[in-house]
């Protein structure tokens, strides 16, 4: 199968997934805890800054929908998977490949893992200025991938590989460089405008980290 055919099939799968009702369920599970946090964030930001822009909330919503799609496509493990694993008569972790590129996967899964986290590397610095460094973006891509891989240890149909960690981190880095190019072309002239909330408050300063952690926790606890 050619690269074009692989991309065509992958696009069809993504479209079918998006229109499927599972996406709505995943968005709800992803956002449950984030909505509670956002209420706290809004009150803190309003008290310290006086306002929260609609553009910021729109960016956060797009970010959470993206995460919901990632969690659904990757099939992260849930608390129910952990329960089944613990109560199973023969509990053993799923296949684990710790040596990079030691699995028998063809090239295309590597490409798809890179593509999956490119939006992460683009959206983080676009929405939050404190993520406009390659180290923070790469670390975020690595940690998100690590959480997904660790949760998949308890599933019955997923493999845990270091290949995914490497490719997902690489995808986030590529997304960051795409953002840099986008920034220099479209956003640099407006970079001095106050379009983001800045504060020493932990809740406000680490908003993106809270969304990443709470969205994953929401899927882990509430998804079936």
What are the domain boundaries of the chain?
A: 14-222
Structure tokens at 11: 């696009």
DSSP 8-class letter at 25:
H
Is 150:93 a contact under the CB 8 Å cutoff? no
Cα–Cα distance list, 124 to 77, 84, 172, 186, 210 (Å):
24, 35, 9, 17, 13
Calculate ∠ Cα 120-126-132, nearest 5°. Answer: 85
What pLDDT is attached to residue 82? 87
- For residue 220, the model assigns a pLDDT of 93
How many Å apart are CA 18 and CA 73, to the nearest integer?
A: 10
Check residue 94 and give its pLDDT. Answer: 60
Per-residue tens of pLDDT for the chain, all 224 residues: 555 565 566 566 555 555 555 778 888 899 999 999 988 888 877 776 666 778 888 999 999 999 999 998 898 889 998 888 888 766 566 677 777 777 665 678 889 999 999 999 999 999 999 999 999 999 999 999 999 999 988 887 777 888 899 999 999 999 999 999 998 887 666 655 555 555 556 667 789 999 999 999 999 998 87
Confidence (pLDDT) at 17: 53
Q: Answer yes or no: pTM beyond 0.85.
A: no
Per-residue pLDDT at 140: 97
State the pLDDT at residue 116: 95
CA distance 68 to 26: 5
Q: What is the pLDDT of residue 155?
A: 83
């Amino acid at each position: 199968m050619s690269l074009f055919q692989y991309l065509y099939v992958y696009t069809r799968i993504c479209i079918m997934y998006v229109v499927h009702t599972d996406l709505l369920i995943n968005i709800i599970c992803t956002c449950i805890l984030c909505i509670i946090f956002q209420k706290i964030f809004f009150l803190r930001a309003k008290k310290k800054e006086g306002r929260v822009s609609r553009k910021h909330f729109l960016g956060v919503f797009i970010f959470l929908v993206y995460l919901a799609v990632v969690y659904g496509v990757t099939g992260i493990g849930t608390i129910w998977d952990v329960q089944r694993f613990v109560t199973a008569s023969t509990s053993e972790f799923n296949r684990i490949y710790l040596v990079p590129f030691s699995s028998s996967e063809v090239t295309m899964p590597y490409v798809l893992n890179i593509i999956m986290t490119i939006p992460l590397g683009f959206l983080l610095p676009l929405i939050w200025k404190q993520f406009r460094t390659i180290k923070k973006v790469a670390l975020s891509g690595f940690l998100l991938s690590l959480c997904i891989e660790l949760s998949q240890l308890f599933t019955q149909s997923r493999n845990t590989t270091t290949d995914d960690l490497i490719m997902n981190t690489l995808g986030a880095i590529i997304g960051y460089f795409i953002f840099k190019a986008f920034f220099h072309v479209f956003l640099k002239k407006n970079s001095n405008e106050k379009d983001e909330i800045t504060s020493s408050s932990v809740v406000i300063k680490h908003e993106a980290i809270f969304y990443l952690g709470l969205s994953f926790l929401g899927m882990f606890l509430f998804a079936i």
